[in-house]
Each structure stands twice: as C-alpha cells, then as structure tokens.
Amino acid sequence: MSKSELNQGYPPQKDAVVRDVTHADVARIVGSDFSERIHNRLYELNILPQGEKLIFKNPLGNHEEGESHARYLYEGKRGKNRVYIFIISSEWGEKTSKHKHEDPVHEIIENYYQIAGEGSAEILLDGVSHPFDEKHPFISVAPGVAHQMVVTSGYIMGAINMENGALVSDDQVHQPI
C-alpha cells in the first residue's frame, strides 16, 4: 500500500492528532477481512476461545493510559489477563508511550503479537532495540522492563496479551517512564 493510500482519511501532518479512525479506515489499510484475521490469530494463540468474538470500538480509541499514537480496536480484561488490539502507522504518529508494568504481588508479562503489517517496527526494551515485524512477530516484555514501540515505516496491527494484568488496578497497570 502506498503512502498516499495509507494517508487517505488521516491528517496529512505527521504530528497531527488522529481522531475518528473508523473500521472503514482499518479495512482500507489492513483489508476488509481485518476482523476475521484478528480473531483467527487470537484463536491460534489461545488468547480467545474458539468461536468467541470481541466487540471492537468504532471509532477506534486512544489508549486508556499513556500517550500512545496507536489506536485501539479493543481494550479489555479476559480472566486474569488484559488484551489489547491495536493499529499504529508511521503516517499518523509512530510510537507508543514509554512505560513499564510492575506490581509487588503479581508478575505482569506483556506479550506482543503481530497480526498484520506492511512495515517495520522496533520495541525498545530498557533502551535496547528489538525488531517487531513479519520476520519477528512476537516479543515478550518481562516485569519492570521499560518499553516502547516505534514504527519506522508503514503500519503494524497487533495484539497484546498482558498476563496477570487484570489482577492489577486500572490506575496501576501502566506506569509511565
């Protein structure tokens, strides 16, 4: 997909605030089968029971915590875990907030999975860069590790499964750095 196609429906300035990203925008970027692709990947990863469906936000929302440029189709608690489905593009803001997850009682492990993407990203773990793209579609973040995703080109659609994240209060789960 060309940069001009990625930019249709989005503010032309890279630093502009993105508002009202809709399912139609996601379908144009990722494909009209985005919902099926997301659910199939979640079933494969055993994050979601086979046949169960998530209800996606429309328009997509900003992350409930932090200053992320990503837009979230889903943010919710599933048993003891928190699950996030996101899309982030280099065309309308290329990074998530820098944060960590730490709790004195519960070990919080954040697992990132790529679902779709025509681009590349990196996840900085305590300042060290790790690729997150088609060739490297999984990264696990240990408790207490400062991390941030930066998209270097194109877009990334992903899922985050935060193990034990639902056991921690909403105001404590994301700790900005």
Q: With both helix axes pointing from N to C terminus, report the angle between 23-30 and 34-44 in degrees, rounded to the nearest 10.
A: 80
Tell me: the pLDDT tens digits for 84-99?
A: 999 998 887 788 989 9
**Backbone dihedral angles phi then psi of residue 20, each to the nearest 5 degrees:** 55, 50
CA distance 74 to 100: 20
List helix spans (H) across the chain: 3-7, 23-30, 34-44, 170-173
Residue among 134, 149, 137 nearest 68 (CA): 149
- What's the whole-model pTM score? 0.86
Token pair in block for residue 166: 């639902």
Would you tell me which CATH number, out of the four given (3.40.50.970, 2.60.120.10, 2.60.40.10, 3.10.20.310), belongs to the domain 3-165?
A: 2.60.120.10
Angle at 174 between CA 88 and CA 72, to 5 degrees: 30
CA distance 30 to 28: 6
List per-residue pLDDT tens for the chain, 177 residues long.
333 343 343 333 444 455 578 999 899 888 999 999 999 999 999 999 999 999 999 988 776 555 788 899 999 999 999 999 999 988 877 889 899 999 999 999 999 999 998 888 999 999 999 999 999 999 999 999 999 999 989 999 999 999 999 999 998 998 988
